[in-house]
Amino acid sequence: MKNFKDLKIWQKGMDIAISCFQLTESFPSTERFGISSQINRAGVSIPSNVAEGSSRTSEKDYGRFIEISLGSSFELETQLLIAQRLKFGDDRKVADLITNVSEEQKMLAGFLKSLFR
């Protein structure tokens, strides 16, 4: 079992999850169970799957959870792009979060490759 809290992909994922909640606080209240909820769930899924995968004993199983985390990051990016087009939230904060998600995607993809070298 690896200490997931030491992984940069988990740490950045945690920052992204917190940023999601902070961002969606300013969304219209009508979106509480809509896109706000989707964004928050996808954001939480990124570090959660990194953590869960770290408990797996095989690289293949671990890699599957990293893939799920990566998938959640692409889902989150899409939701943020939708929010941006709808002008939900502060435009600068949305753009910064999209940039952070993109960086996380690269880190997750690199980590996934390193598992199978």
CATH code of the domain covering residue 53: 1.20.1440.60
Calpha distance 59→13 (Å, rounded): 20
The percent of residues in the chain predicted with pLDDT above 90, rounded, is: 90
Calpha distance 53→55 (Å, rounded): 5
| Mean of the per-residue pLDDT values of the chain | 95
pLDDT class of 1 with cuts at 50, 70, 90: low
Domain holding 61, by residue range, is: 4-115
Q: Which range, of 26-30, 68-72, 91-95, averages the lowest pLDDT? A: 26-30
Task: Work out how many domains the chain is built from and give that number.
Answer: 1
Nearest to 80 by CA among 27, 32, 6: 27
C-alpha to C-alpha distances, 2 to 26, 44, 68, nearest whole angstrom: 37, 20, 18
What's the whole-number mean pLDDT along residues 6-18?
A: 97
At 18-65, the pLDDT tens digits run: 999 999 999 999 988 899 999 999 999 999 999 999 999 889 999 999
